[in-house]
Structure 1
Protein backbone atom coordinates (compact mmCIF):
# COMPACT_ATOMS: atom_id res chain seq x y z
CA UNK A 1 0.00 0.00 0.00
CA UNK A 2 1.30 3.42 -0.97
CA UNK A 3 0.27 6.20 1.41
CA UNK A 4 0.50 9.98 1.23
CA UNK A 5 0.14 12.00 4.40
CA UNK A 6 -0.94 15.64 4.68
CA UNK A 7 0.45 17.75 7.54
CA UNK A 8 0.61 21.36 8.60
CA UNK A 9 3.94 23.07 9.24
CA UNK A 10 3.91 22.12 12.93
CA UNK A 11 3.33 18.39 12.47
CA UNK A 12 5.77 18.31 9.52
CA UNK A 13 8.46 19.61 11.87
CA UNK A 14 8.93 22.90 10.00
CA UNK A 15 8.17 25.33 12.82
CA UNK A 16 5.43 26.55 15.11
CA UNK A 17 2.59 29.04 14.73
CA UNK A 18 5.10 31.67 13.65
CA UNK A 19 5.62 29.61 10.46
CA UNK A 20 1.93 29.36 9.54
CA UNK A 21 2.73 31.09 6.23
CA UNK A 22 4.86 28.11 5.09
CA UNK A 23 4.01 27.50 1.41
CA UNK A 24 2.86 24.13 0.17
CA UNK A 25 5.55 21.57 -0.38
CA UNK A 26 6.29 17.92 -0.18
CA UNK A 27 8.96 15.29 0.17
CA UNK A 28 9.00 11.63 -0.81
CA UNK A 29 9.67 10.63 2.80
CA UNK A 30 7.86 10.47 6.12
CA UNK A 31 8.30 13.77 7.94
CA UNK A 32 7.60 14.89 11.49
CA UNK A 33 4.70 13.11 13.14
CA UNK A 34 4.23 10.77 10.16
CA UNK A 35 7.32 8.79 11.15
CA UNK A 36 5.28 6.94 13.82
CA UNK A 37 2.67 6.01 11.22
CA UNK A 38 5.34 4.82 8.82
CA UNK A 39 6.61 2.29 11.38
CA UNK A 40 3.12 0.83 11.67
CA UNK A 41 2.64 0.75 7.90
CA UNK A 42 5.89 -1.16 7.41
CA UNK A 43 4.39 -4.06 9.39
CA UNK A 44 1.89 -4.40 6.52
CA UNK A 45 4.39 -4.10 3.65
CA UNK A 46 3.20 -0.52 3.16
CA UNK A 47 4.98 2.79 3.07
CA UNK A 48 4.59 6.53 2.98
CA UNK A 49 5.45 7.66 -0.55
CA UNK A 50 5.11 11.34 0.25
CA UNK A 51 4.44 13.93 2.92
CA UNK A 52 2.67 17.04 1.66
CA UNK A 53 2.53 20.08 3.91
CA UNK A 54 1.71 23.76 4.14
CA UNK A 55 1.11 26.31 6.83
CA UNK A 56 -2.43 26.85 8.00
CA UNK A 57 -2.42 30.58 7.14
CA UNK A 58 -0.94 29.83 3.72
CA UNK A 59 -3.70 27.28 3.18
CA UNK A 60 -6.42 29.77 4.17
CA UNK A 61 -5.03 32.32 1.71
CA UNK A 62 -4.56 29.79 -1.14
CA UNK A 63 -7.20 27.08 -0.62
CA UNK A 64 -8.05 26.42 -4.27
CA UNK A 65 -4.41 26.15 -5.34
CA UNK A 66 -3.39 23.90 -2.42
CA UNK A 67 -6.40 21.64 -2.86
CA UNK A 68 -5.87 21.26 -6.60
CA UNK A 69 -2.12 20.60 -6.33
CA UNK A 70 -2.38 18.16 -3.41
CA UNK A 71 -5.10 16.13 -5.17
CA UNK A 72 -3.19 16.10 -8.48
CA UNK A 73 0.01 14.92 -6.78
CA UNK A 74 -1.79 12.05 -5.06
CA UNK A 75 -3.26 11.00 -8.39
CA UNK A 76 0.07 11.35 -10.20
CA UNK A 77 1.97 9.37 -7.54
CA UNK A 78 -0.64 6.59 -7.54
CA UNK A 79 -1.46 6.76 -3.84
CA UNK A 80 -3.63 3.92 -2.58
CA UNK A 81 -4.81 6.10 0.30
CA UNK A 82 -4.25 9.62 1.66
CA UNK A 83 -4.15 10.43 5.37
CA UNK A 84 -5.05 13.98 6.37
CA UNK A 85 -3.63 14.52 9.83
CA UNK A 86 -3.30 13.54 12.57
CA UNK A 87 -4.24 17.08 13.46
CA UNK A 88 -4.85 16.32 17.14
CA UNK A 89 -6.64 19.29 18.76
CA UNK A 90 -5.24 21.97 16.45
CA UNK A 91 -8.42 23.55 15.06
CA UNK A 92 -6.88 25.34 12.05
CA UNK A 93 -5.06 22.19 10.94
CA UNK A 94 -8.18 20.10 11.55
CA UNK A 95 -10.18 22.40 9.31
CA UNK A 96 -7.50 22.18 6.61
CA UNK A 97 -7.34 18.37 6.95
CA UNK A 98 -11.09 17.89 6.59
CA UNK A 99 -11.47 20.35 3.72
CA UNK A 100 -8.66 18.57 1.87
CA UNK A 101 -10.20 15.18 2.66
CA UNK A 102 -13.44 16.36 1.10
CA UNK A 103 -11.55 17.31 -2.09
CA UNK A 104 -9.87 13.89 -2.21
CA UNK A 105 -13.29 12.24 -1.82
CA UNK A 106 -14.64 14.32 -4.71
CA UNK A 107 -11.70 13.13 -6.85
CA UNK A 108 -12.32 9.48 -5.83
CA UNK A 109 -8.98 9.24 -4.02
CA UNK A 110 -9.38 7.06 -0.88
CA UNK A 111 -8.85 9.28 2.15
CA UNK A 112 -8.98 9.00 5.93
CA UNK A 113 -8.59 11.75 8.52
CA UNK A 114 -7.52 11.72 12.16
CA UNK A 115 -8.46 14.49 14.57
CA UNK A 116 -9.26 14.99 18.25
CA UNK A 117 -12.70 16.12 19.40
CA UNK A 118 -11.21 18.75 21.72
CA UNK A 119 -11.56 22.16 19.99
CA UNK A 120 -12.92 20.42 16.87
CA UNK A 121 -16.45 19.25 17.69
CA UNK A 122 -17.93 21.74 15.20
CA UNK A 123 -15.80 20.29 12.40
CA UNK A 124 -16.60 16.72 13.39
CA UNK A 125 -20.32 17.51 13.31
CA UNK A 126 -19.94 19.12 9.89
CA UNK A 127 -17.93 16.29 8.24
CA UNK A 128 -18.69 13.05 10.14
CA UNK A 129 -21.34 11.84 7.71
CA UNK A 130 -19.19 12.38 4.60
CA UNK A 131 -15.72 11.34 5.76
CA UNK A 132 -13.86 8.69 7.73
CA UNK A 133 -12.54 10.61 10.75
CA UNK A 134 -10.60 8.40 13.16
CA UNK A 135 -10.81 9.35 16.83
CA UNK A 136 -7.47 10.83 17.91
CA UNK A 137 -6.39 12.06 21.34
CA UNK A 138 -5.51 15.69 21.86
CA UNK A 139 -1.82 16.54 21.62
CA UNK A 140 -0.13 14.90 24.59
CA UNK A 141 -3.24 12.90 25.44
CA UNK A 142 -3.34 9.19 26.15
CA UNK A 143 -4.39 6.61 23.59
CA UNK A 144 -2.18 7.72 20.70
CA UNK A 145 -0.77 4.26 20.00
CA UNK A 146 -4.23 2.69 19.73
CA UNK A 147 -5.51 5.58 17.59
CA UNK A 148 -2.60 5.20 15.14
CA UNK A 149 -3.24 1.43 14.94
CA UNK A 150 -6.86 2.21 14.09
CA UNK A 151 -5.76 4.72 11.47
CA UNK A 152 -3.58 2.12 9.74
CA UNK A 153 -6.42 -0.42 9.88
CA UNK A 154 -8.64 2.13 8.13
CA UNK A 155 -5.97 2.70 5.48
CA UNK A 156 -5.80 -1.03 4.79
CA UNK A 157 -9.58 -1.28 4.43
CA UNK A 158 -9.66 1.64 2.00
CA UNK A 159 -6.70 0.48 -0.06
CA UNK A 160 -8.22 -2.99 -0.39
CA UNK A 161 -11.64 -1.53 -1.23
CA UNK A 162 -13.29 -3.20 1.76
CA UNK A 163 -16.45 -2.14 3.54
CA UNK A 164 -15.68 0.49 6.18
CA UNK A 165 -19.08 0.73 7.87
CA UNK A 166 -18.18 -1.38 10.94
CA UNK A 167 -14.78 0.36 11.18
CA UNK A 168 -16.50 3.75 11.08
CA UNK A 169 -18.93 2.70 13.80
CA UNK A 170 -16.13 1.37 16.05
CA UNK A 171 -13.27 3.85 15.58
CA UNK A 172 -14.58 7.01 13.97
CA UNK A 173 -16.79 9.91 14.97
Structure 2
Protein backbone atom coordinates (compact mmCIF):
# COMPACT_ATOMS: atom_id res chain seq x y z
CA UNK A 1 0.00 0.00 0.00
CA UNK A 2 1.39 3.39 -1.03
CA UNK A 3 0.31 6.20 1.30
CA UNK A 4 0.53 9.97 1.03
CA UNK A 5 0.23 11.76 4.36
CA UNK A 6 -0.92 15.37 4.78
CA UNK A 7 0.48 17.26 7.79
CA UNK A 8 0.63 20.84 8.99
CA UNK A 9 3.91 22.66 9.57
CA UNK A 10 4.07 21.50 13.20
CA UNK A 11 3.52 17.78 12.63
CA UNK A 12 5.85 17.75 9.62
CA UNK A 13 8.65 19.14 11.79
CA UNK A 14 8.95 22.50 10.04
CA UNK A 15 8.25 24.73 13.04
CA UNK A 16 5.62 25.82 15.51
CA UNK A 17 2.74 28.27 15.36
CA UNK A 18 5.17 30.98 14.25
CA UNK A 19 5.57 29.05 10.96
CA UNK A 20 1.83 28.83 10.21
CA UNK A 21 2.54 30.75 6.99
CA UNK A 22 4.53 27.80 5.55
CA UNK A 23 3.53 27.38 1.92
CA UNK A 24 2.23 24.08 0.56
CA UNK A 25 5.04 21.66 -0.16
CA UNK A 26 5.90 18.03 -0.24
CA UNK A 27 8.72 15.55 -0.11
CA UNK A 28 8.92 11.98 -1.34
CA UNK A 29 9.67 10.71 2.16
CA UNK A 30 8.08 10.39 5.59
CA UNK A 31 8.51 13.63 7.54
CA UNK A 32 7.74 14.34 11.19
CA UNK A 33 4.71 12.41 12.43
CA UNK A 34 4.61 10.51 9.13
CA UNK A 35 7.85 8.77 10.11
CA UNK A 36 6.14 6.94 12.98
CA UNK A 37 3.36 5.81 10.66
CA UNK A 38 5.89 4.76 8.01
CA UNK A 39 7.65 2.45 10.48
CA UNK A 40 4.34 0.69 11.17
CA UNK A 41 3.52 0.54 7.44
CA UNK A 42 6.88 -1.03 6.54
CA UNK A 43 6.07 -4.01 8.78
CA UNK A 44 3.19 -4.67 6.34
CA UNK A 45 5.15 -4.19 3.09
CA UNK A 46 3.62 -0.73 2.74
CA UNK A 47 5.15 2.73 2.92
CA UNK A 48 4.69 6.49 2.93
CA UNK A 49 5.40 7.54 -0.65
CA UNK A 50 5.24 11.27 0.17
CA UNK A 51 4.44 13.79 2.86
CA UNK A 52 2.50 16.90 1.87
CA UNK A 53 2.68 19.79 4.31
CA UNK A 54 1.08 23.19 4.61
CA UNK A 55 0.94 25.85 7.29
CA UNK A 56 -2.55 26.35 8.65
CA UNK A 57 -2.46 30.12 8.15
CA UNK A 58 -1.23 29.70 4.56
CA UNK A 59 -4.05 27.23 3.94
CA UNK A 60 -6.68 29.61 5.35
CA UNK A 61 -5.52 32.34 2.95
CA UNK A 62 -5.21 30.00 -0.06
CA UNK A 63 -7.82 27.24 0.42
CA UNK A 64 -8.85 26.80 -3.20
CA UNK A 65 -5.26 26.78 -4.49
CA UNK A 66 -4.01 24.35 -1.81
CA UNK A 67 -6.95 21.98 -2.14
CA UNK A 68 -6.68 21.97 -5.93
CA UNK A 69 -2.93 21.34 -5.94
CA UNK A 70 -3.16 18.51 -3.41
CA UNK A 71 -5.98 16.87 -5.36
CA UNK A 72 -4.03 17.14 -8.61
CA UNK A 73 -0.80 15.85 -7.03
CA UNK A 74 -2.66 12.87 -5.58
CA UNK A 75 -4.15 12.13 -9.00
CA UNK A 76 -0.71 12.40 -10.62
CA UNK A 77 1.16 10.31 -8.01
CA UNK A 78 -1.64 7.72 -7.64
CA UNK A 79 -1.24 6.68 -4.00
CA UNK A 80 -3.48 3.90 -2.80
CA UNK A 81 -4.78 6.23 -0.09
CA UNK A 82 -4.40 9.72 1.40
CA UNK A 83 -4.06 9.85 5.19
CA UNK A 84 -4.77 13.30 6.63
CA UNK A 85 -3.31 13.74 10.09
CA UNK A 86 -2.74 12.78 12.79
CA UNK A 87 -4.08 16.19 13.83
CA UNK A 88 -4.26 15.48 17.56
CA UNK A 89 -6.21 18.35 19.17
CA UNK A 90 -4.91 21.12 16.90
CA UNK A 91 -8.15 22.75 15.75
CA UNK A 92 -6.79 24.65 12.73
CA UNK A 93 -4.97 21.56 11.46
CA UNK A 94 -8.00 19.31 12.01
CA UNK A 95 -10.23 21.64 9.99
CA UNK A 96 -7.63 21.91 7.21
CA UNK A 97 -7.12 18.13 7.11
CA UNK A 98 -10.82 17.34 6.95
CA UNK A 99 -11.56 19.99 4.32
CA UNK A 100 -8.71 18.83 2.09
CA UNK A 101 -9.46 15.15 2.71
CA UNK A 102 -13.09 15.62 1.78
CA UNK A 103 -12.14 17.55 -1.37
CA UNK A 104 -9.68 14.86 -2.49
CA UNK A 105 -12.13 12.03 -1.85
CA UNK A 106 -14.93 13.93 -3.62
CA UNK A 107 -12.90 15.07 -6.64
CA UNK A 108 -10.73 12.01 -7.30
CA UNK A 109 -10.80 8.24 -7.06
CA UNK A 110 -8.37 8.25 -4.11
CA UNK A 111 -9.81 7.13 -0.78
CA UNK A 112 -9.07 9.18 2.35
CA UNK A 113 -8.77 8.46 6.06
CA UNK A 114 -8.53 11.24 8.66
CA UNK A 115 -7.10 10.95 12.19
CA UNK A 116 -8.49 13.58 14.58
CA UNK A 117 -8.86 14.04 18.35
CA UNK A 118 -12.27 15.26 19.52
CA UNK A 119 -10.80 17.74 22.02
CA UNK A 120 -10.95 21.23 20.51
CA UNK A 121 -12.31 19.71 17.27
CA UNK A 122 -15.92 18.85 18.08
CA UNK A 123 -17.30 21.28 15.46
CA UNK A 124 -15.01 19.90 12.73
CA UNK A 125 -15.81 16.31 13.70
CA UNK A 126 -19.54 17.09 13.66
CA UNK A 127 -19.23 18.74 10.23
CA UNK A 128 -17.25 15.91 8.58
CA UNK A 129 -18.06 12.63 10.40
CA UNK A 130 -20.75 11.74 7.88
CA UNK A 131 -18.63 12.78 4.87
CA UNK A 132 -15.23 11.32 5.76
CA UNK A 133 -13.90 8.39 7.80
CA UNK A 134 -12.34 10.02 10.88
CA UNK A 135 -10.38 7.73 13.21
CA UNK A 136 -10.74 8.66 16.89
CA UNK A 137 -7.38 9.57 18.36
CA UNK A 138 -6.10 11.07 21.61
CA UNK A 139 -5.17 14.68 22.08
CA UNK A 140 -1.46 15.51 21.95
CA UNK A 141 0.17 13.69 24.85
CA UNK A 142 -2.91 11.51 25.43
CA UNK A 143 -2.87 7.75 25.87
CA UNK A 144 -3.87 5.44 23.05
CA UNK A 145 -1.84 7.00 20.24
CA UNK A 146 -0.30 3.71 19.08
CA UNK A 147 -3.74 2.09 19.00
CA UNK A 148 -5.26 4.96 16.99
CA UNK A 149 -2.40 4.80 14.47
CA UNK A 150 -2.93 1.04 14.14
CA UNK A 151 -6.66 1.64 13.62
CA UNK A 152 -5.94 4.30 11.01
CA UNK A 153 -3.62 1.98 9.08
CA UNK A 154 -6.09 -0.89 9.35
CA UNK A 155 -8.86 1.30 7.91
CA UNK A 156 -6.52 2.41 5.11
CA UNK A 157 -5.88 -1.25 4.28
CA UNK A 158 -9.58 -2.07 4.30
CA UNK A 159 -10.42 0.85 2.02
CA UNK A 160 -7.60 0.03 -0.40
CA UNK A 161 -8.71 -3.61 -0.59
CA UNK A 162 -12.32 -2.41 -1.00
CA UNK A 163 -13.42 -4.46 2.02
CA UNK A 164 -16.57 -3.72 3.99
CA UNK A 165 -15.70 -1.06 6.57
CA UNK A 166 -19.09 -0.52 8.22
CA UNK A 167 -18.44 -2.40 11.50
CA UNK A 168 -14.88 -1.07 11.74
CA UNK A 169 -16.04 2.52 11.22
CA UNK A 170 -18.77 2.14 13.87
CA UNK A 171 -16.17 0.97 16.39
CA UNK A 172 -13.17 3.24 15.70
CA UNK A 173 -14.47 6.32 13.88
CA UNK A 174 -16.65 9.26 14.83
Corresponding residue for 1:111? 112
| Residue correspondences, number | 173
1:137 aligns with 2:142: no
Unaligned ranges ≥5, structure 1: none
Q: How many angstroms does 1:108 deviate by?
A: 2.6
Corresponding residue for 1:48? 48
Deviations 1:66-107, CA, capped at 9 Å, x for gaps: 001111111111100000000000000000000001111112
Corresponding residue for 2:59? 59
Deviations 1:27-49, CA, capped at 9 Å, x for gaps: 00000011110011111110000
Corresponding residue for 1:3? 3
Corresponding residue for 1:71? 71
After the TM superposition, which segments of 4 or more aligned residues of structure 1 sit over 3 Å from their partners? none
Distance, in Å, in 2 between the alignment partners of 1:137 and 1:95 is 16
SS for the counterpart of 2:115 is: strand
Distance, in Å, in 2 between the alignment partners of 1:103 and 1:109 is 10
Unaligned ranges ≥5, structure 2: none
Q: TM-score, normalised by structure 1?
A: 0.98
C-alpha root-mean-square deviation of aligned residues, in Å? Answer: 0.6
Corresponding residue for 1:97? 97
Q: TM-score, normalised by structure 2?
A: 0.98
Distance, in Å, in 1 between the alignment partners of 2:120 and 2:152 is 20
1:21 aligns with 2:21: yes
